[in-house]
A and B are shown apart, each in its own frame.
Chain A
Amino acid sequence: MDLRTFRKADLILALVIIGAAAAIVAGQSLGRSRQEGAVSAREVVIEVNGQHFRTVPFSQVTGVMTVDVPADRGRTVVVEITEDGRARVRASDCPDKVCVKTGWIEHPGEVIVCLPNRVVVKIQGAPGALGPALDGIAY
């Protein structure tokens, strides 16, 4: 008699524990896939003077989007973002125009810098197969 109740209690305990474990595993993998979904969508991040200015996910761009970035001393850096997932600095009030000459960027980790205006344009997202094989460049 008491043997049977013991078994029942054990069975309930086992089910509860296995259920809890399954819930934890499911919860974690769900969280992970949600995270992966968030970063695999690439986006353009624009910073001015080390401060975040704007983030534009490519999914929100139709055609070509132009962003006027206000820099120091009333200067402007014009950033272009395209629907097909590229970004560039089209124009900038700076002496050397290194940022404009950099051209288009598209892979996560790629960066355009306008040093005189302290503007950074970068692509963010999961470094998948499209990502650069390089970790960085000495220049």
Chain B
Amino acid sequence: MTWNVHIKYEGRKRLREVARHSWALSRTALCVFVLLTALVGAGCQGSGGRPNASVRTGFALGTLVQVRAYAQGEQADEAVREAFARIEEVEALMSANVPSSDVAAVNRKAGGLPTRVAGDTLYVVKRAREYGDLSHGRFDAAIGPLVRLWGIGTDHAKVPSPEEIAAARSLVDYRDVEVNESAGTVRLRKAGMALDLGAIAKGFAADGAAEALVKRGVKSAFIDLGGNILVVGSRPDGSPWRVGIQDPWSERGATFAVVPVRNMAVVSSGIYERFFEQGGRRYHHIIDPDTGYPAETGIVSATVLARHAVDADALSTTVFLLGPSDGMKLITRLAGVEAVVVTDDRQVIISPGLRGVIEVSRGWTVRFYGLEDVQES
């Protein structure tokens, strides 16, 4: 019996101790919980909930480049660095002004042997040829001799003589750009010919920059290559990015419309971008390969929206050169591509896919292509 009592007593004592112990444990657990809650709460307010932004500006491809990217942790800075590296890589390959570039090498050997080029260059030349076909030669990657002759955007811009223009024009034909995919070479058939990828390389570079960002975990970014816009995802808060479209008759930065977009390129071509004045006339930089003079198609600005900037870039020039009617006809034939054209009589023509999406400022006459009604906005 005593044994039993002893056991009972010991048992009760142990029970009490266990109970006391678990009390202490649960109180410690409570404290740890409070600490963790405070830490997590503070963390959320600090950096855990909102992604870090990284912004960088620089010059590349003859223009101002700005990349703004959002990612968790330190990834954003590294991603933006890599995006810039990619843009500089494209410039090193495709700028006609860089003597070591693929384009310069191809131009030096015009009329001679094929030149081996990087896969990126081959791809862009191929895409440029496609746009040549699509526009019946209005978009011409062999426009080099005319671009050089006019020198628009350089210190020596001038109106060339009709003889000079005729001579340069005879060297401009994208069908004389030979692409050999299996050999990885490009060749210009005639001596004096010159490739100029200025109407497509920026778009390609923007796509490359976006790829570099996405690979680094960026889900939200705004890439601006001298007004060629490519957005990745949406704004960090989930709302669409808001891209303005330059008013062709106002100072830089004034817009006449806004497009809210996600994962989209928005690229404009306009007479106001690069130009010079001589004898009271304005000469802009978009040269018509058929006339050899700055294009006069009734368009003052053509903006194209497409998933990839390489397409939006090439198509904005193409639409500009085709004019309002043929340009819009081409756009409506292409899937996933939209356009906004401003004509010299101040009409805004918009592809029907942007109806209900685009916001146009007051005072503009707006027409949706293919639809009858004209609206005053």
Contacts and interface: CB of A to CB of B under 8 A. Distances in A.
Contacts of B229: 136-138
A135 B245 CA distance: 11
B58 interface: yes
B266 A17 contact: no
Interface string B283-320: 00000000000000000000100000000000000000
A81 interface: no
B45 A29 contact: yes
A25 B164 CA distance: 73
B24 A6 contact: yes
Interface in A5-32: 6, 9-10, 13-14, 17-18, 20-22, 24-25, 28-29, 32
A26 to B, nearest CB: 9
Contacts of B100: none
Contact of B222 (A10, A101, A136): A136
Given A18-B34, A139-B268, A28 B252 contact: no
Contacts of B167: none
Interface string B235-260: 10000011111100001110100100
A47 interface: yes
Interface residues of B, number: 55
Contacts of A98: 252
B38 A139 contact: no
Given A6-B24, A102-B251, A136 B224 contact: yes
Interface in B194-234: 222, 224, 226-229, 231
A113 to B, nearest CB: 5
B27 A14 contact: yes
A120 B275 contact: no
Contacts of B253: 102, 105, 110, 137
Contacts of B38: 21-22, 24-25
B7 interface: no
Given A10-B27, A138-B243, 5 more contacts: A98-B252, A101-B251, A120-B57, A136-B222, A139-B227
Interface of B: 20, 23-24, 27-28, 30-32, 34-35, 37-39, 41-42, 45-46, 57-59, 62-64, 66, 155, 157, 222, 224, 226-229, 231, 235, 241-246, 251-253, 255, 258, 266-268, 270, 272-276, 303
